[in-house]
């Protein structure tokens, strides 16, 4: 396990003014897992449960400065990336991760918001594939993201495996293809380490309140890695945490409501 006074996890992502995804979801997840959370904000969004009304990107050099400042003073046991809006931000993040020797990096290749709004530009997608994927300790695409990054149409488990192999060949140490977008009574995620596959299954929950699921899952993996768990245990634990957060999700707003990140506190009352 981690010998630090407290496990330290850094999120490098966009800010969600509605509080359900991005930096806000990540920090809530870290806190729920008893991990000290830090943040480097890449973009500021004006959004709610219905959609994204505006995006303001933080200058790339200032994104890198945020990472440098916390890494060089507090230290980072694990990090995760979320919304990286443009190519300059991707490159700046990559250089800072290298400069600060941050090895346990969970890459959530955020491309589209739950509302359907685009969060990753075409130039950023190319830079992410070329520069960031080779640094990823764990890559966590959902089905549409895995299709976009691999060029493989995913309709079943065989295709998920093909996509995982193709993505692993681009450099990540581990690939988790999330199967929530596929049909079926269970939501099945697939982990590939370059040699073998492992699946993680949970009963599908019938709810529209799923805003921030991808952010929360990747943050939970990063938080558990920061605590010293191995990849399999971190993915398994993140899956269990996310399932409960969806089950306790909040019916706030007129669109996709947010998860309940502190469901453990509610469970303790029961």
- Can you give the chain as a three-state secondary structure string? CCCCCCCEEEEEEEEECCCCCHHHHHHHHHHHCCCEEEEEEEEEEEECCCCEEEEEECCHHHHHHHHHHHHHHCCCCEEEECCCCCHHHHHHHHHHHHHCCCCCEEECCCCECCCCCECCCHHHHHHHHHHHHHHCCEECCEHHHHHHHHCCCCCCHHHHHHHHHHHHCCCCCEEEEECCCCCCCEEEEEEECCCCEEEEEEECCCCCCCECHHHHHHHHHHHHHHCCCCHHHHHHHHHHHHHHHHHCCCCCCCCCCECCCCHHHHHHHC
Reported pTM: 0.94
- Is 212 catalytic? The answer is yes
- Is 184 catalytic? The answer is no
Catalytic annotation, pick one of 42, 210, 216, 243 = 210
pLDDT tens digits for 2-52? 556 899 999 999 999 999 999 999 999 999 999 999 999 999 999 999 988
- Is 81 catalytic? The answer is no
Predicted pLDDT of residue 1: 47
Low-confidence residues of the chain: pLDDT under 70: 1-4, 112-119, 265-270
- Is 178 catalytic? The answer is yes
Catalytic annotation, pick one of 22, 82, 214, 237 = 214
Domains of the chain and CATH, by start: 8-261 (3.40.1190.20)
């Amino acid at each position: 396990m981690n010998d630090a006074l407290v496990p330290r996890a850094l999120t490098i992502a966009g800010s969600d003014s509605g509080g359900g995804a991005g930096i806000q979801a990540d920090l809530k997840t870290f806190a729920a897992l008893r991990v000290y959370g830090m943040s480097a904000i890449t973009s500021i969004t004006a959004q709610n449960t219905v959609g994204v009304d505006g995006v303001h990107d933080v200058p790339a050099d200032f994104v890198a400065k945020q990472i440098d400042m916390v890494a060089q003073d507090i230290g980072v046991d694990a990090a995760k990336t979320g919304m990286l809006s443009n190519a300059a931000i991707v490159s700046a993040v990559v250089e800072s991760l290298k400069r600060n020797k941050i090895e346990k990096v969970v890459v959530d290749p955020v491309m589209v918001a739950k509302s359907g709004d685009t969060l990753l530009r075409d130039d950023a997608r190319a830079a992410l594939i070329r520069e960031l994927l080779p640094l990823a300790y764990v890559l966590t695409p959902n089905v549409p993201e895995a299709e976009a990054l691999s060029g493989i149409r995913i309709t079943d488990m065989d295709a998920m495996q093909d996509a995982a192999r193709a993505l692993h060949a681009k450099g990540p140490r581990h690939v988790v293809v999330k199967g929530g977008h596929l049909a079926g009574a269970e939501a099945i995620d697939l982990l590939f380490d370059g040699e073998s596959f492992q699946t993680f299954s949970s009963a599908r929950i019938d709810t529209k309140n799923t805003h921030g699921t991808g952010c929360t899952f990747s943050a939970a993996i990063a938080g558990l890695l920061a605590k010293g768990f191995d990849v399999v245990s971190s993915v398994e634990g993140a899956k269990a945490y996310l399932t409960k957060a969806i089950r306790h999700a909040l019916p706030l707003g007129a669109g996709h409501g947010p998860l309940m990140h502190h469901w453990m506190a509610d469970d303790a009352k029961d």
